[in-house]
Structure formats: structure tokens, C-alpha cells
Structure 1
Amino acid sequence: MLEITKNYVTDENQQPIAVQIPIAEFEKIEEILENYGLVQLIEESEDDERFAKDEAWKYYQYLKNKNVEN
């Protein structure tokens, strides 16, 4: 399980209104959500002939690498 370091932001009445997390942990959460979404998309379109699983995975890796370079 991913451990998340949280800092709570409170208002003047000490009521929690937001949470701050380190950017590295945020990026890991973002990656997990993207991967989950990709898996869901692949599973939904398994019978669809637009992309085979391996083609979708290669395209995803291309997009991911492209984003890392920017």
C-alpha cells in the first residue's frame, strides 16, 4: 500500500479544508490512476478491433515517454 504523507490545511476555526502532499507522492498517485484507467479502457475494448492490447500498450508507452521528455 502506498503511504501518503499528509499535511492538513485548516481554516480560522481549525476545520480541515485541504490536504497537502509531496509532489513525488502526487505524481505516483497520478501514475497509478492513469494505469488503472488504461487497464479499464483496454478491458472495455478487448472485443473492439481498433487497438489490440499490445498496440494500446505500445502507444501508451510512447505517450508516457513523450511526456517525460517534455
Structure 2
Amino acid sequence: MLEIHKKILVDENQQPVAVQIPFDEFQRIEQIMENFGLAKLMDETEHDERLSGDAAREYYELLKANDVEG
């Protein structure tokens, strides 16, 4: 289990408003979240149609072109 060294920041009424953690721990949390998201996406698309390498590259280029226009 990942140990998180957190500092809880409170307002003038002693109500929690933010959490401060070391940057390296934040990076590990971020990596865990990205891995979880990728695994979830892989599970969700397990039965989707698979593209050949050339078709995948063409589709990717189309997505990039649409992103630039949009």
C-alpha cells in the first residue's frame, strides 16, 4: 500500500480546504491512476474491432487532423 505523507490545510474556521503531499508521492498516485484508466479502457474495448497497423495510423492521423481543426 502506498503511504501518503499528507498535510491538511484548514481555513480560519478550522475546516479542511486542501491537502498538501510531497511531489514524488503525487507522481506515484498519478501513475497509479493512469495505469488504472488504461486497464479499464482495455477491458472496455476488449471486444471492439481491431485495426491493422496501417489502418490504425490512418485513423490516428485523422484524429490529429480533426483536433487541429476543432
> Which interval holds the TM-score relative to the shorter structure?
0.5 to 0.7
Gaps of 5+ in 2: 52-70
Q: How does 1:1-70 map to 2 (within 5 A)?
A: 1-50=1-50
Aligned length: 51
**Max Rg structure:** 2
Q: Under a length normalisation based on structure 2, what TM-score does the superposition of the two structures give?
A: 0.67
TM superposition shift of 1:36: 0.3
Equivalents in 2 of 1:34, 1:50: separation in Å?
22
- Large movers: runs of 4+ above 4 Å: none
Equivalents in 1 of 2:50, 2:2: separation in Å?
34
Equivalents in 2 of 1:22, 1:49: separation in Å?
42
Q: How many percent identity over aligned positions? A: 61
TM superposition shift of 1:45: 0.7
TM superposition shift of 1:50: 3.2
Amino acid at match of 2:36: Y
Q: Under a length normalisation based on structure 1, what TM-score does the superposition of the two structures give?
A: 0.67
Amino acid at match of 2:8: Y
